Amino acid sequence: MTGVPVAAFFGTPASRPLADLIELIRLWQSVADEEGRIEILAVARARAAGAKDGGAAPA
């Protein structure tokens, strides 16, 4: 990775939405097959919809 200052990795903890995005990206990269990635997207979309509606996001 280029262009990212090393200090960015040792600064203050990421906000919750950013931390969730980082977790999603790592999970996405760890699953190679399309079926698994489709499931990941389905869960992410359901959680995002729950957050937009103000309701509890599904676990």
Q: Report the helix count and the strand count for the chain, using DSSP H and E.
A: 2, 0
47 vs 6, more confident: 47
Tens of pLDDT, residues 45-58:
898 888 766 555 44
Q: What is the pLDDT of residue 37?
A: 92
33 vs 9, more confident: 33
